[in-house]
Amino acid sequence: MVRKRPLPLLTRKYSDVSSVDVDVATGRQFSLWLRGSSFSSVARLRAAFGFICRLYAFKMIKKFDKKDEESGSGSNPFQHLEKSAVLQEARIFNETPINPRRCLHILTKIIYLLNQGEHFGTTEATEAFFAMTRLFQSNDQTLRRMCYLTIKEMANISEDVIIVTSSLTKDMTGKEDVYRGPAIRALCRITDTTMLQAIERYMKQAIVDKVPSVSSSALVSSLHMVKMSYDVVKRWVNEAQEAASSDNIMVQYHALGLLYHLRKNDRLAVTKMLNKFTKSGLKSPFAYCMLIRIASKLLDETEGGHDSPLFDFIESCLRNKNEMVVYEAASAIVHMPNCTARELAPAVSVLQLFCSSPKAALRYAAVRTLNKVAMKHPSAVTACNLDLENLITDSNRSIATLAITTLLKTGSESSVDRLMKQISSFVSEISDEFKVVVVQAISALCQKYPRKHSVMMNFLSNMLRDDGGFEYKRAIVDCIISIIEENPESKETGLAHLCEFIEDCEHTVLATKILHLLGKEGPRTPQPSKYIRFIFNRVVLESEAVRAAAVSALAKFGAQNDDLLPSVLVLLQRCMMDSDDEVRDRATFYMNVLQQKQKALNAAYIFNGLSVSIPGLEKSLHQYTLEPSEKPFDMKTVPLATAPITEQKTEIAPVATSKLPEKLAPSRQDIYQEQLAAIPEFQGLGPLFKSSEPVQLTEAETEYVVRCIKHTFAGHMVFQFDCTNTLNDQLLQKVLVQMEPSEAYEVVQYVPAPSLPYSQPGSCYTLIRLPDDDPTAVSCTFSCTMKYLVRDCDPNTGEPDDDGYDDEYVLEDLEVTVADHIQKVLKPNFGAAWDEVGDEFEKEETFALASVRTLDEAVGNIISFLGMQPCERSDKVPENKNSHVLFLAGVFRGGHDVLVRARLALADGVTMQVTVRSGDENVVDVILASVG
């Protein structure tokens, strides 16, 4: 038995109604009217009933509203709906006669719940759906259209939705135009590939229907079905073609859309279609915009020159009557790659016109597009500078901000001061989001005009003092940090501003970040002592996370500046009394390290923190505790962290971040480590040392796509071949890649992929032993051949034949280079690390790189060849200099630190003096040998 639930919303409302009395006056009027009429007419009486019903309904709604206001639940009567209650109410769909008003209300509730993301089980959804199908009895227009909406919403969650197919077909071919369009849309939503043929005839008729809404619905629905059953919809091309010549702008647009999507894989057909429509001209501006998009996409794909007819067409659209088309054309030209200034000019002048349009939307669109142009072609936009300056005072702040940031990009160095003044006049009025845009523009400006840093710095520090959200503050701090890094002269002012900022900073992340920066940069400034006060204030005033970061920063000062050391030790001693464990631990640790007064210790434990991967460390320690042994835990068994390559600006050594993210996402390498450990053949190889980026061994779009990832272990290498079979009539089995080494490398074992069905990637592995006797043999070339058993199969069912045959496929050669043996490690303080390793195994040699023309190129080549991490931002070559020093750090296979210092000088070619230091002599030899 179903338990009777408390009466839900609607029922309660009705119980209210029963107690509502018809107003006495209205009742009297009503009876008068009745007396005056010829009473025998049934129609009149029915009308009278209808009147009463409406009266009730009106009262009911009024009352309902009043109640709502009283309970203060706002204007949403659906706020506290419960799914089970609504579904129970849906039972009234089964009643006869149907009450359209109530049913409508319940359908609204169901749709509301669906859109709120409420989960409906299949059974309950199906039950509600079938109950809803009965509402097709009623001829109430609103109810019927609500049914269409419900069908569309429930199409995926209910079973057997095709039950309404005939009812919908009847509506779409019926006389009521109001029903036809929505019925088509609902029908196409529930139709699957097998059913589509049954309704094909109706769809064809509907596409060419003379009622625009019907035709549009049919076209748009067909567009949705192209994804599902391309072949069937393709047969409707003729009808779509006819619709494309319709007078209605929407129908024409939708028809063009359908035609394009049917042909988009066939470039020739698209070109033909474009030619046809560009010649004949279209009525609909929407269709024009679509044509422009298709044309620019085609231009992009064919890399056609700008003298092609397509470009002419786009340019001709700049003279269209409709603003939308003009904008679309201008935007298309602006976004074209390798566009010359001459081609840009007309587009920019059109946008310039829009800048003075009375419509805010147009101004916004124009200035936004100009902003984008300014990034690539600042000179093209200079012509608009005057209009943009007018827009600075625009009442719409979004437009004003974009105008200013555009001007910042295009303006000359001299105008920067003025613009900055203007920005500061309204910066407090715009939203945080746009403030971030302004900050980014300033950051870009700083890189362009480094000499202006003092103006910028002042401005930024003012902004920093204003109120603002976290994102905004972070953007400013990032910007200041990047200025400091780019520009040594600004370092002191920048640090001073940041120090001031952390005095009153509520964001822990920013405070720790700045403290880390202070620890890194502060000791190297002429007057390190002045930062100590700011840092120690943090220890006194802030939360644990900030205190811990402050302790780390203090320790760095102590390690680097001998004259400060006694005072730092005193301060650290105080920190050892802190209430937080982490702060105490750090203070104790640093205290002890500093008291040793050994440079090497300082370098290893204070400047350059741990360089292991954190999840890897966690796993190794866990493993160690599971198998207790006499041996101490060896840090070298822990896989190294892959250095953050992209985020050099924001790197944070683990020591300084006391607030690690909740869960460190395992890096790519940790994932591989896990995968390889699951293969029994690779047990006992030790921890994974390095995984290379994938190398493609086949051309794109061949029968089989193979890429290789090289995994380096202490004494072995594992090649992982990710193979994909792109032939749908073949099943590959026992796939392996045979490798022929050119050097003394030895293939130990193949692990084949058991089966490789169509388009499902699979992996096979090859295990190689590295030569022990010759440690200098680091590079080797392998010729690879993929061998497999082919079984032909039915492309549709994937059912393979019983017998197969062996076949092979030649892949490109695979190279192992020195970079595969070196893992990148970031040393935040290269000098300290350099001293730590010592000059025991130092070697130095000079090379001439004849083929290289610039220092930048040389630096890039060296980094990619050695696969080491550039330190101290030495990968960036300052402009207009003839010499440069590159610092590289890494760990060689086996766990030996390697440091490389390369002095580069630009003469005819580039002359390079390489100094290598390592804890192992062999490693030094290997590197020098590979460079030579």
Partner 1 sequence: MGLFDKLAAWLGLKKEVNVLCLGLDNSGKTTIINRLKPSNAQVQDIVPTIGFSIEKFKTSSLSFTVFDMSGQGRYRNLWEHYYKEGQAIIFVIDSADKLRMVVAKEELDTLLNHPDIKHRRIPILFFANKMDMRDALTSVKVSQLLCLENIKDKPWHICATNALTGDGLQEGVDWLQGPLRIHFNLLLSYISSALANLLLFVSLIPNIFMYSTVSPFSSLHRGPFHCRVKRKQQQLLRYCS
Q: Is 822 left (phi over 0), alpha (psi -120 to 50) or beta?
A: beta
Say if residues 654 and 615 touch (Cβ distance below 8 Å): no
For residues 191 and 667, which CB has a smaller minimum distance to partner 1 in the complex? 191
> Which span (163-171, 287-295, 572-580, 734-742) binds partner 1, by CB under 8 A?
163-171
x/- track of binding to partner 1 for residues 66-105 (CB under 8 A):
----------------------------x-xx--------
Three-point CA angle 228, 229, 235, nearest 5°: 145
Least distance in Å: CB of 92 to partner 1? 12
For residues 190 and 837, which CB has a smaller minimum distance to partner 1 in the complex? 190
Residue 656: helix, strand or coil by DSSP?
coil
890 burial (CB, 10 Å; 0-12 / 13-18 / 19+) is buried
Say if residues 667 and 617 touch (Cβ distance below 8 Å): no
The continuous run of DSSP H or E covering 113 comes out as helix 100-115
Least distance in Å: CB of 165 to partner 1? 4
Least distance in Å: CB of 94 to partner 1? 6
Least distance in Å: CB of 20 to partner 1? 16
Out of 112, 130, 750, 847, which residue is the one contacting partner 1 (CB under 8 A)? 130
What is the rounded (10 degree) CA torsion for 170, 176, 177, 180? -20
Out of 164, 445, 709, 852, which residue is the one contacting partner 1 (CB under 8 A)? 164
Out of 11, 108, 142, 169, which residue is the one contacting partner 1 (CB under 8 A)? 169
Least distance in Å: CB of 56 to partner 1? 17
Out of 136, 449, 589, 758, which residue is the one contacting partner 1 (CB under 8 A)? 136
For residues 38 and 882, which CB has a smaller minimum distance to partner 1 in the complex? 38
SS (H, E, C) 41-60: CHHHHHHHHHHHHHHHHHHH
Say if residues 306 and 340 touch (Cβ distance below 8 Å): yes
Question: Total residues at the site for partner 1 (CB under 8 A)?
Answer: 27
Least distance in Å: CB of 23 to partner 1? 14
Token pair of 162 as six digits: 């095709």
Least distance in Å: CB of 188 to partner 1? 14
User: What end-to-end distance do the CA atoms of the chain give, in Å?
Assistant: 87
What is the C-alpha separation between 511 and 550, in angstroms, rounded? 9
Token pair of 500 as six digits: 């001031």
Interface with partner 1 includes 198 (CB under 8 A)? Answer: yes
Considering only residues 18 to 47 of the shown chain, the ones binding partner 1 according to CB under 8 A are 31, 34-35, 39-40, 42, 45-46
Least distance in Å: CB of 189 to partner 1? 14
How many helices and strands in the chain, by DSSP H and E?
A: 39, 17
DSSP state, residue 607: I
Out of 11, 142, 165, 493, which residue is the one contacting partner 1 (CB under 8 A)? 165
Considering only residues 178 to 197 of the shown chain, the ones binding partner 1 according to CB under 8 A are 195
Amino acid occupying residue 485: E
> Which span (6-14, 115-123, 156-164, 672-680) binds partner 1, by CB under 8 A?
156-164
Say if residues 339 and 379 touch (Cβ distance below 8 Å): no
Interface with partner 1 includes 882 (CB under 8 A)? Answer: no
Q: What are phi and psi of 372, to 5 degrees?
A: -70, -40
Q: What are phi and psi of 837, to 5 degrees?
A: -70, -35
What is the distance, to the nearest Å, from the Cα of residue 636 to the centroid of all Cα atoms in its chain?
Answer: 35
Token pair of 764 as six digits: 């096979």
What is the rounded (10 degree) CA torsion for 271, 275, 277, 281? 150
For residues 190 and 653, which CB has a smaller minimum distance to partner 1 in the complex? 190
Q: What are phi and psi of 645, to 5 degrees?
A: -85, -45
Say if residues 479 and 445 touch (Cβ distance below 8 Å): no
What is the C-alpha separation between 516 and 556, in angstroms, rounded? 10
Helix 453-465 with 470-486: angle, nearest 10 deg = 160
- Residues 6+ positions from 626 with CB-CB distance below 8 Å: none
Least distance in Å: CB of 46 to partner 1? 5
Amino acid occupying residue 373: V
Question: How far is the CA of 760 from the CAs of 129, 316, 802, in angstroms?
Answer: 37, 47, 21
For residues 179 and 472, which CB has a smaller minimum distance to partner 1 in the complex? 179
Out of 84, 166, 356, 596, which residue is the one contacting partner 1 (CB under 8 A)? 166
Out of 37, 71, 73, 137, which residue is the one contacting partner 1 (CB under 8 A)? 137
The 3-state DSSP composition of the chain as helix, strand, coil percent (nearest 5) reads: 60, 15, 30
What is the C-alpha separation between 395 and 676, in angstroms, rounded? 61
Least distance in Å: CB of 16 to partner 1? 22
Token pair of 129 as six digits: 């759906």
> Which span (157-165, 284-292, 613-621, 784-792) binds partner 1, by CB under 8 A?
157-165
Least distance in Å: CB of 201 to partner 1? 9
Burial letters 784-809, b for 16+ CB under 10 A, else e: bebbbbbbebeeeeeebeeebeeeeb
Considering only residues 218 to 257 of the shown chain, the ones binding partner 1 according to CB under 8 A are none
For residues 173 and 913, which CB has a smaller minimum distance to partner 1 in the complex? 173
Least distance in Å: CB of 169 to partner 1? 7
For residues 31 and 543, which CB has a smaller minimum distance to partner 1 in the complex? 31
For residues 133 and 675, which CB has a smaller minimum distance to partner 1 in the complex? 133
Interface with partner 1 includes 170 (CB under 8 A)? Answer: yes
Least distance in Å: CB of 185 to partner 1? 17
Least distance in Å: CB of 236 to partner 1? 19
Interface with partner 1 includes 54 (CB under 8 A)? Answer: no
Interface with partner 1 includes 162 (CB under 8 A)? Answer: yes
For residues 163 and 849, which CB has a smaller minimum distance to partner 1 in the complex? 163
For residues 198 and 341, which CB has a smaller minimum distance to partner 1 in the complex? 198
Least distance in Å: CB of 243 to partner 1? 24
Least distance in Å: CB of 152 to partner 1? 16
Question: How far is the CA of 563 from the CAs of 515, 527, 555, in angstroms?
Answer: 21, 11, 13
Token pair of 738 as six digits: 């045979």
For residues 82 and 200, which CB has a smaller minimum distance to partner 1 in the complex? 200
> Which span (129-137, 366-374, 452-460, 837-845) binds partner 1, by CB under 8 A?
129-137
Residues in the chain: 932
For residues 190 and 638, which CB has a smaller minimum distance to partner 1 in the complex? 190
Least distance in Å: CB of 202 to partner 1? 10
For residues 79 and 137, which CB has a smaller minimum distance to partner 1 in the complex? 137
Token pair of 742 as six digits: 């050119």
Q: Max CA-CA distance within the chain?
A: 121
Out of 23, 160, 413, 921, which residue is the one contacting partner 1 (CB under 8 A)? 160
Least distance in Å: CB of 186 to partner 1? 12
For residues 133 and 781, which CB has a smaller minimum distance to partner 1 in the complex? 133
For residues 96 and 629, which CB has a smaller minimum distance to partner 1 in the complex? 96
> Which span (164-172, 314-322, 599-607, 829-837) binds partner 1, by CB under 8 A?
164-172
For residues 167 and 487, which CB has a smaller minimum distance to partner 1 in the complex? 167
Q: Minimal CA–CA distance to 190: which of 154, 238, 234?
A: 154
Three-point CA angle 20, 21, 23, nearest 5°: 125
Considering only residues 846 to 875 of the shown chain, the ones binding partner 1 according to CB under 8 A are none
Out of 52, 81, 157, 163, which residue is the one contacting partner 1 (CB under 8 A)? 163
Token pair of 564 as six digits: 């400060």
Contact footprint for partner 1 (CB under 8 A) = 31, 34-35, 39-40, 42, 45-46, 94, 96-97, 130, 133-134, 136-137, 160, 162-167, 169-170, 195, 198
